[in-house]
């Protein structure tokens, strides 16, 4: 193998049935800013079955063991549901650290640090006292009414601002809402930018392209299938770990972009504006608008939701998902070359199952190659596959395995900031060790791939 990671062990993963750490629903679990790396996860007090929100940070250039953790014991997480994860975000403009946690169609649970904490290297500053109380509405909201029916919260840093995004509504019948946080400490509602009608969109990710200050989103739609209790507001059937509207109802790959912080959205295929978003209902994109369709994939085709996407330095879009449109389930690399359009390629070496753990796609910023971080769906191997451009130098069609190791049980999550700013591939996941699950961060020095 060409790579060998430094491994940080952050602690024991709580023994839940469904993963709460290192789950793809944990939209933003690991990030870096100002030379410091941050992770968010649940830890457990050995005397209790409850889980507690924990943040850890370290100097990314120091030894992998130098993590300092803070644990919030004022809230006990007790729901054994893999959707109820933690997300972390950092605003570059004011150095605030934000966390949202424990949602599956629930009222918002959110807290924010004091300004400047992300740039304060004083060890005594890294404590729970530097964070405010749990809030159920976002600072600066027009009303103090709680934000309800929240699922999959995520934060996305821009230049000096930060997005907050989540689903409002239940599986098969939800929409994506977008807020923008500024250095004045206020969230401003942009609106329901991606609207599901008898379906709900599942973003593969939302990416900010700094050179062009452009926001990109790709998604699949899950169509709504009626079920007992669907119209009963007291029913909790939609909060099950799986179903009643499952991935067999997913269809299509869709794509849109915005050059004004999510207020207006355009289609790549037609170059036309498809929506101008406001706080008024139904001003966002229709998630099934065919002008936004990149690839038609029918239902029952083995595609998953929330797999992975990223935008390259040159503005190309890369999406990872899976399909069974050829008679077997395959990982698929969807590549939008901004000049030549879309191309779709099946990845070699590894084949997923229809509902197995999901992977990520990232760019090796020190070269012109793409890395796929893939959990084997049939054993405990975690694999990194490199894709390089072929002879035409247009498409990525030359592949090799640069690292593989067994014992990993989580869905990998990647620190995109560490990758772009330091050339370090940091993967947050879990592994089996001594009959228990450990929470780990794997750090790969990608300069070795440049020399290989």
For strands 264-266 and 273-276, give the pairing. Answer: antiparallel
Alpha-carbon distance values, 24 to 30, 332, 376 (Å)? 12, 17, 15
Residue 424 near residue 437, CB atoms below 8 Å: no
Domains and CATH numbers, the chain: 6-227+247-449 (2.130.10.10)
Residue 186 has pLDDT above 90, yes or no: yes
Residue 348 near residue 389, CB atoms below 8 Å: no
Residue 79 near residue 104, CB atoms below 8 Å: yes
The Cα–Cα gap between 264 and 59 comes to 38
pLDDT band at 50, cuts 50/70/90? Answer: confident
Mean pLDDT value across residues 377-394: 90
Mean pLDDT value across residues 440-447: 94
pLDDT of residue 127: 97
Lowest pLDDT segment from 10-14, 59-63, 67-71, 190-194 = 59-63
pLDDT of residue 96: 98
Alpha-carbon distance values, 229 to 150, 244, 378 (Å)? 19, 10, 35
Paired with 341 in beta bridges are 337
Residue 247 near residue 301, CB atoms below 8 Å: no
**pLDDT 10s digits, 218-264:** 999 999 877 666 666 666 666 666 666 788 999 999 999 999 999 99
Mean pLDDT value across residues 31-40: 96
pLDDT band at 450, cuts 50/70/90? Answer: confident
Query: Taking the chain, what is the end-to-end CA distance rounded to the nearest angstrom?
Result: 10
Mean pLDDT value across residues 89-99: 97
Listed residue (408, 323, 349) closest to 22, CA to CA: 408
pLDDT of residue 62: 81
pLDDT of residue 132: 97
Mean pLDDT value across residues 93-113: 97
Task: Take residue 350 and report the two structure tokens written for it.
Answer: 């590894």
H/E stretch holding 422: helix 416-422
Listed residue (193, 195, 202) closest to 262, CA to CA: 193
CB atoms within 10 A of CB 328: 10
The Cα–Cα gap between 402 and 383 comes to 8
CB atoms within 10 A of CB 197: 13
The Cα–Cα gap between 213 and 417 comes to 16
The CA R_g of the chain, rounded to the nearest whole Å, is: 21
pLDDT of residue 316: 95
Mean pLDDT value across residues 390-411: 91
Q: Is 322 helix (H, G, I), strand (E, B) or coil?
A: strand
Q: What percent of the chain has pLDDT over 70?
A: 95
pLDDT band at 48, cuts 50/70/90? Answer: confident
Contacts of 344 (CB under 8 A, 6+ apart): 295, 332, 333, 334, 335
The Cα–Cα gap between 131 and 116 comes to 11
Phi, psi of 383 (to 5 degrees): -130, 140
130 burial type by CB count under 10 A (0-12 exposed, 13-18 middle, 19+ buried):
middle
The Cα–Cα gap between 237 and 239 comes to 5
Mean pLDDT value across residues 90-111: 97
Mean pLDDT value across residues 417-426: 92
pLDDT of residue 238: 65
The whole-model pTM stands at: 0.95
**pLDDT 10s digits, 312-328:** 998 999 999 999 999 99
Mean pLDDT value across residues 115-124: 94
pLDDT of residue 232: 63
pLDDT of residue 408: 97
Listed residue (222, 320, 297, 214) closest to 262, CA to CA: 214
pLDDT of residue 452: 64
pLDDT of residue 188: 95
Bigger pLDDT: 240 vs 280: 280
> What's the mean pLDDT when you consider all of the chain?
92
**pLDDT 10s digits, 139-171:** 987 667 899 999 999 999 999 999 999 999 987
Bigger pLDDT: 242 vs 79: 79
**pLDDT 10s digits, 326-375:** 999 999 999 999 888 999 999 999 999 999 999 999 998 778 899 999 99
């Amino acid at each position: 193998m060409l790579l060998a990671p430094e491994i940080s062990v952050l602690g024991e993963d709580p023994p839940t049935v469904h993963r709460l750490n290192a789950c793809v629903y944990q939209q933003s679990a690991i990030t870096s800013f100002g030379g410091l790396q941050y992770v968010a996860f649940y830890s457990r007090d050995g005397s209790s079955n409850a889980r507690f929100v924990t943040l850890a940070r370290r100097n990314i250039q120091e030894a992998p063991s130098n993590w300092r953790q803070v644990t919030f014991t004022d809230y006990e997480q007790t729901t054994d549901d893999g959707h109820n994860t933690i997300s972390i975000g950092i605003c570059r403009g004011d150095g605030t650290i934000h966390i949202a946690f424990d949602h599956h169609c629930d009222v918002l649970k959110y807290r924010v640090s004091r300004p400047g904490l992300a740039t304060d290297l004083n060890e005594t500053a890294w404590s729970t006292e530097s964070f405010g109380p749990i809030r159920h509405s976002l600072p600066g909201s027009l009303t103090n009414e709680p934000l309800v029916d929240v699922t999959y919260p995520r934060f996305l840093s821009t230049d000096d601002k930060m997005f907050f995004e989540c689903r409002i509504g239940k599986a098969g019948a939800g929409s994506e809402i977008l807020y923008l946080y500024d250095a004045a400490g206020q969230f401003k509602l942009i609106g329901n930018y991606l609207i599901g009608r008898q379906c709900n969109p599942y973003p593969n990710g939302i990416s900010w392209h700094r050179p062009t200050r452009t926001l990109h989103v790709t998604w699949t739609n899950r169509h709504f299938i009626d079920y007992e209790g669907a119209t009963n507001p007291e029913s909790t059937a939609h909060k099950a770990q799986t179903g009643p509207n499952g991935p067999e109802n997913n269809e299509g790959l869709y794509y849109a972009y915005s050059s004004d912080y999510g207020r207006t959205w355009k289609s790549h295929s037609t170059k036309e504006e498809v929506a101008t978003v406001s706080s008024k209902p139904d001003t966002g994109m229709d998630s099934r608008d065919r002008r936004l369709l990149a690839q038609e994939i029918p239902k029952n085709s083995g595609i998953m939701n929330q797999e992975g996407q990223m935008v390259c330095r040159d503005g190309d879009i890369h999406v990872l998902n899976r399909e069974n449109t050829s008679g077997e389930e395959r990982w698929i690399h969807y590549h939008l070359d901004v000049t030549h359009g879309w191309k779709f390629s099946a990845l070699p070496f590894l084949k997923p199952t229809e509902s197995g753990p999901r992977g990520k796609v990232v760019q090796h910023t020190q070269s012109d190659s793409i890395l796929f971080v893939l959990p084997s769906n049939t054993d405990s191997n975690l694999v990194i596959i490199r894709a390089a451009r072929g002879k035409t130098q247009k498409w990525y069609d030359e592949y090799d395995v640069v690292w593989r190791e067994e014992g990993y049980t989580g869905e990998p999550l990647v620190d995109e900031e560490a990758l772009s700013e330091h050339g370090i591939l940091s993967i947050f996941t879990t592994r089996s060790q001594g009959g228990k699950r450990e929470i780990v961060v794997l750090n790969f020095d990608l300069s070795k791939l440049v020399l290989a």
